[in-house]
Structure 1
Amino acid sequence: MRTDLFPVVLGDVDLGDDVLELGPGLGVTTRELAGRVPHLTALEVDETYAERLRRELEPGVTIVHGDASAMPFPDASFTAVACFTMLHHVSTPELQDRLFAETCRVLRPGGVFVGSDGRAGLLFRLIHLGDTLVPVDPGTLASRLEAAGLADVRVTPKPKRVHFTARRPA
């Protein structure tokens, strides 16, 4: 993650001072993000994971239990929103699109949405047997992010992942 995922996905992106991470799960990326930004909020749909993160993470990280397709935050709350390998766990493309629209809503004008997700290869499908797996199509991701109100969209397909950035228009 430190040597591959974050340098490639985040690059020289300025996340600002108030970042939201969607779907932190066990908190691997959350721990790394917390050391990079002044204030981090993580929104986790699974209450068990949210409670675990509250116990394990530093006091400066705010953990909120909630659904990323209906975020419990005011408009223009965050300088950046990040998500890493969680979009495929959103149960339908329509809910993924609501997540994108909610991301645009909670971003401040000029704020950035950055992330990555796995590609639907055989191994990826096998490790998700019995789990939600709704892969994001890199070929349609840019238009979906734009339809949600985001601009300056960049989608970079890789063999096993897709990376993306987008901004809320100023």
Structure 2
Amino acid sequence: MGMNLVHRLLCRSAAWERASATRIVPWAVSGLDLGDSALEVGPGYGANVEALRQWAPALTGLEIDPVLAARLRDRKAGRLTVLDGDGAAMPLPDHEFSSVVCFTMLHHVPSPPQQDDLFGEAFRVLRPGGVFAGSDGLDSVAFRLLHLGDTCVPVPPDTLPDRLARIGFTDIEIDQDTRSFRFRARRPA
């Protein structure tokens, strides 16, 4: 799941961390109870960590890129537990988390079947009644230009309710603004 140089610079910038803390994470999780133990799939450079700590006392990050995972362990020690692994094949036990979240990373999963595998894994590691939530960018020319040379497989938000329902999620909600969408769904109690 590659990112080009411009994208990498953006994602590790203070400006991106501010955008995440003030806009992305609050919009994606507003009104939700993430419970006592949240898993962030694809934390990348860690832009969401400080914002997420306001919603979940215990935070685990599952990162596919070993360099980013090591960087997170070094920079966010004590703020989250970092695990190396693929969101489409999580090295985690069933029913481990009260919530699973992911922000602006689904489009980096290389194919719709692998995205569906990630959704299935999120369902598997959630406790009954747990919430799966997050956000991603809407496909556009500007979005594609930012991702030149990246893995970029946008998730059409209108397909997401059926994809999540097939896995077993309920209470599925999708909202969009001009550049992004948020989703939330629940594993039945």
Q: TM-score by structure 2 length?
A: 0.87
Q: Return the alpha-carbon distance in structure 2 between the equivalents of residues 30 and 49 of structure 1.
A: 14
Structure 1 unaligned regions, length at least 5 = none
Q: In the alignment, which residue of structure 1 is the partner of 2:177?
A: 158
Say yes or no: does 1:148 pair with 2:167: yes
Cα displacement (A) at 1:35: 4.1
Instruction: Kindly indicate whether residue 58 of structure 2 is the aligned counterpart of residue 36 of structure 1.
Output: no
Q: Residue 97 in 1 paired to residue 116 in 2?
A: yes
Q: How far has the Cα of 1:58 moved from its partner?
A: 3.2
Three-state SS of the structure 1 residue aligned to 2:133 is strand
| Per-residue deviation, 1:157 | 2.2
- 1:18-49 CA deviation, whole Å, 9 max, x = no partner? 00000011100123213432110000000000
Runs of 4+, deviation exceeding 3 Å: none
d(CA) in 2 for partners of 1:100 and 1:45?
A: 16
More off after superposition, 98-107 vs 4-13 = 4-13
Q: Matched residue of 1:55: which SS? A: helix
Q: Distance in 2 between matches of 1:58 and 1:31?
A: 12
Query: In 1, are the aligned partners of 2:25 and 2:52 still within 8 Å (CA)?
Result: no
What CA distance in whole angstroms lies between the structure 2 residues aligned with 1:137 and 1:167? Answer: 20
Give the superposition deviation at 1:9. 1.3
1:60 deviates by: 4.0
Q: Distance in 2 between matches of 1:144 and 1:31?
A: 30
Runs of 5+ unmatched residues, structure 2: 1-19
Q: Hey, what does 1:19 align to over in structure 2?
A: 38
Give secondary structure in 1 for the equivalent of 2:184.
strand
**Residue type of the alignment partner of 2:130:** G
Identical-residue share of aligned pairs (%) = 49
Q: Does the CA contact (< 8 Å) of 1:76 and 1:106 recur in 2? A: yes
Residue 128 (structure 2) aligns with: 109
TM-score, normalised relative to structure 1: 0.96
Specify the code of the residue in structure 1 equivalent to 2:36: D
Partner of 1:75: 94
3-state DSSP class of the match of 1:80?
strand
Q: In the alignment, which residue of structure 2 is the partner of 1:124?
A: 143
Alpha-carbon distance in 2 for matches of 1:9, 1:53:
22
CA shift for structure 1 position 6: 2.4
